[in-house]
Amino acid sequence: MDLLQADMISADLPSETFDAVTAVYSLFHVPHAQHPTVFSNVHRWLKPAGYFLFTYATRDYTGHARFNGTKEFMAHNLFYSHTTPAEMFDQLADARLQVINATERNIGGETFLWVTAQRAC
């Protein structure tokens, strides 16, 4: 197994290579205007019927339906960005990723939406 560290916006990976792609505690640090690009990239990288697991910030975490700014985390200001879950689900559908499960989970006092989607052929 190889480890690849790359920017999820500009990574140039071969099409239909991966059975699964994960973006845990990372996607919401990318401006939400670029999330459709990430979703399209993931669709291209996944094999047919491949899975995408990611966490998504929501109002429960930022206090806002849509957010594009900084929050303090462990004494540092970090960039966070999200739109509404409904808008994000529409973006996934536009990228031909079908939501299989979306569950809010509170871990360590923080609530994020955990989403599993599958590549539609």
> 29-43: per-residue pLDDT in tens?
999 999 999 999 999
- Map out the domains of the chain with their CATH numbers: 18-119 (3.40.50.150)
**Rounded CA gap, 34 and 49, in Å?**
24
Question: Could you tell me the pTM of the whole model?
Answer: 0.93
Give the per-residue pLDDT at 121.
75
Distances (CA, A) of 74 to 57, 65, 110: 17, 23, 13
68 with 76: CB under 8 angstroms? no
Give the per-residue pLDDT at 100.
98
